[in-house]
């Protein structure tokens, strides 16, 4: 059973890795749109709400669609003041607790509550209230999709942590080549 779960975890990791690498290019698009918008506004005295809203949509896409990618690479914000002094196994138990008690309820609730908002925007053809603004449903869709990807990655991380506790895989925190602090490297047997 654990082999099947680890295969599911691997597939989720691959999905979020692919999406993250594609969506990261939107940062470049966002910078180009922002630069072109500022240049046209200040140098040519031309302004467009559509370009400004496109910036916001791109930022939302990067932030929401890369949340699973961020969790996959263990780059999310955490406060390790206390947990960094605990054993790696205890840290993994804290990760499991946080995933079950905080991540899943929050992300599933936001996904659940944002879906009707997207559907309403889709059915009504909601447009921006700004003159020349964009349609709203693409931005509304980013919320449930982003939190779905985050929830999927949470499932993957949960599987990997349980497999680690059972001694089936090495420490998932060291899987991307990020250097672990010296005490963790010794404890987990991870290479530099």
3-state helix/strand/coil string of the chain: CHHHHHHHHHHHHHHHHHHHHHHCHHHHHHHHHHHHHHHHHHHCCCCCHHHHHHHHHHHHHHHHHCHHHHHHCCCCCCCCCCHHHCCHHHHHHHHHHHHHHHHHHHHHHHHHHHHHHHHHHHHHCCECCCCCCCECHHHHHHHHHHHHHHHHHHHHHHHHHHHHHCCCCCCHHHCCCCCCCHHHHHHHCCCC
Instruction: Assess whether pLDDT exceeds 80 at residue 94.
Output: yes
The count of structural domains within the chain is 1
Q: What is the rounded average pLDDT for all residues in the chain?
A: 86
Angle (CA) 78-82-86 rounded to 5° is 105
Q: How many CB atoms lie within 10 A of CB 125?
A: 9
The residues pairing with 127 across neighbouring beta strands, listed in sequence order, are 135
Give 176 or 107, the one with higher predicted confidence: 107
Q: What are the residues whose beta carbons fall under 8 Å from the beta carbon of 47, sequence distance 6 or more?
A: 40, 41
Q: Report pTM.
A: 0.83
Region 144-164: what's the mean pLDDT? 96
Confidence of residue 101 (pLDDT cuts 50, 70, 90): very high
The least confident of 41-45, 103-107, 110-114, 116-120 is 41-45
Average pLDDT over residues 40-62: 86
Per-residue pLDDT averaged across 121-131, rounded? 87
Over residues 24-35, mean pLDDT: 92
Residue whose structure tokens are 């031309």 = 46
How much is the average pLDDT of 34-51? 84
Residue 157 is encoded by which pair of tokens? 């991380």
Nearest Cα to 6, choosing from 148, 149, 172? 172
Structure confidence at residue 175 (pLDDT): 56
Instruction: Output 97 or 191, whichever has higher pLDDT.
Output: 97
Q: pLDDT, tens digit, for every residue of 70-93?
A: 999 988 777 777 777 888 899 899
Average pLDDT over every residue of 15-28:
94
Question: Residue 111 and residue 76: Cα distance in Å, rounded?
Answer: 19
Structure tokens at 140: 């509304």
pLDDT, residue 181, reads: 44
Task: Using a pLDDT cut of 70, give the percent of the chain over it.
Answer: 90
How confident is the model at residue 108, as a pLDDT?
97
CA-CA distances (angstroms) from residue 117 to 32, 86, 134, 148? 30, 42, 17, 15
Domain residues for the domain of 65 are: 2-188
Q: Which residue has the higher pLDDT, 147 or 50?
A: 147
| Spatial separation of the C-alpha atoms in residues 8 and 12, rounded to whole Å | 6
């Amino acid at each position: 059973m654990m082999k099947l779960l680890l295969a599911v975890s691997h597939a989720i990791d691959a999905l979020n890795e692919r999406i993250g690498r594609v969506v990261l290019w939107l940062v470049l698009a966002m910078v180009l749109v922002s630069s072109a918008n500022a240049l046209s506004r200040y140098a040519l005295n031309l302004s467009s709400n559509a370009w400004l809203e496109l910036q916001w949509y791109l930022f939302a896409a990067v932030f929401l669609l890369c949340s699973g990618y961020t969790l996959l690479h263990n780059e999310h914000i955490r406060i390790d003041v206390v947990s960094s002094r605990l054993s790696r196994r205890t840290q993994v138990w804290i990760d499991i607790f946080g995933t079950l008690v905080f991540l899943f309820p929050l992300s599933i609730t936001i996904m659940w509550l944002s879906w009707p908002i997207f559907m309403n925007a889709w059915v009504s053809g909601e447009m921006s209230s700004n003159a020349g603004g964009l349609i709203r449903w693409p931005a509304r869709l980013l919320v449930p999709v982003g939190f779905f990807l985050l929830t999927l990655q949470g499932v993957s991380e949960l599987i990997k942590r349980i497999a680690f506790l059972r001694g089936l895989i090495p420490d998932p925190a060291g899987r991307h080549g990020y250097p672990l602090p010296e005490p963790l490297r010794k404890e987990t047997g991870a290479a530099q």
